[in-house]
């Protein structure tokens, strides 16, 4: 319960800072920026609070697609205004990194399940405490 | 026309992200996440980034749900 409140406060603080930063950007407004900000904050909140490990991995994926949506929308905006900003190679690198991270994380989750018999983070912590 | 489509896709993204995160059943959560990735790829295509869109359609809607399904099958689904 305490952890949920603290996580919600941290996410709200990060969201407020990012909204102020978005409002100060001269070229960029509109729904896409705020939708990507919402997706980022939602994924971050799930990664912090949900105790199911597979839900944490899904939250990571939602978070990074939100960030990439922001990058691509920024490049689209600036390209229609004559600037040459092409974030495609950056997005490729990020996608490959996130897919490999997901694969390694899921392999770790399967090993944890074989050892502890559960994929719930709280329960794994409790069982570790009982062992020692 | 394009602006309306953009707003509709963004609404679908937000709603499906909330459903994928809040759903109790892990299997339905993964399926909703695959639909989310596909709509995100369509949105990237509309925003003028076709190569990342195809890469996301392969990775996000193909590889990641496959990995998640394998992990769910090995760990016995929802606790």
- CB-nearest to B75 from A79, A91, A113 is A113
Highest mean pLDDT among A30-34, A71-75, B58-62: B58-62
User: Among all chains, which residue has been given the structure tokens 């978070």?
Assistant: A63
- pLDDT 10s digits, B5-58: 888 999 999 999 999 999 889 999 999 999 999 999 999 998 888 899 999 999
The pLDDT of residue A85? 66
C-beta atoms of B14 and A102 within 8 A: no
**pLDDT cut 90: percent of chain A above it:** 41
The pLDDT of residue A27? 64
Distances (CA, A) of A67 to A42, A95, A122, B11, B41: 12, 11, 29, 17, 14
Looking up residue A88, the CATH number of its domain turns out to be 1.10.287.3510
Contact B31, A70 (CB under 8 A): no
Q: Of B61, B30, B66, B56, which is closest to residue A55 (Cα–Cα)?
A: B30
Q: Work out how many domains chain A is built from and give that number.
A: 1
Helix A53-80 vs helix B26-46: crossing angle, to nearest 10: 10
Inform me whether the pLDDT recorded for A35 exceeds 60.
yes
Q: In this predicted complex, what is the ipTM?
A: 0.91
- Chain A: closest CA distance from residue B3 (Å): 10
- pLDDT 10s digits, A62-101: 999 999 998 888 887 776 665 566 678 889 999 999 999 9
Inform me whether the pLDDT recorded for A34 exceeds 80.
yes
C-beta atoms of B30 and A58 within 8 A: yes
**Structural domain boundaries, residue A114:** 2-131
Separation CA B31–CA B71 (nearest Å): 14
């Amino acid at each position: 319960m305490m952890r949920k409140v603290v996580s919600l406060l941290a996410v709200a603080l990060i969201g407020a800072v990012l909204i102020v930063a978005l409002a100060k950007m001269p070229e960029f407004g509109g729904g896409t920026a705020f939708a990507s900000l919402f997706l980022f904050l939602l994924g971050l909140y799930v990664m912090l609070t949900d105790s199911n490990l597979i839900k944490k991995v899904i939250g990571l994926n939602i978070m990074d697609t939100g960030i990439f949506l922001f990058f691509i929308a920024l490049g689209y905006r600036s390209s229609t205004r004559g600037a040459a900003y092409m974030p495609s190679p950056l997005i490729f690198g990020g996608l490959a990194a996130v897919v490999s991270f997901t694969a390694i994380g899921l392999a770790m989750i399967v090993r944890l399940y074989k050892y502890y018999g559960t994929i719930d983070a709280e329960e794994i912590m409790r069982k570790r405490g009982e062992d020692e | 026309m394009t602006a309306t489509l953009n707003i509709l896709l963004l609404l679908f993204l937000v709603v499906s992200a909330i459903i994928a995160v809040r759903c109790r059943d892990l299997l339905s959560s993964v399926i909703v996440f695959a639909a989310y990735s596909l709509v995100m790829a369509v949105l990237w295509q509309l925003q003028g980034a076709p190569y990342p869109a195809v890469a996301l359609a392969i990775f996000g809607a193909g590889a990641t749900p496959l990995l998640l399904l394998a992990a769910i099958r090995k760990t016995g689904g929802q606790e």
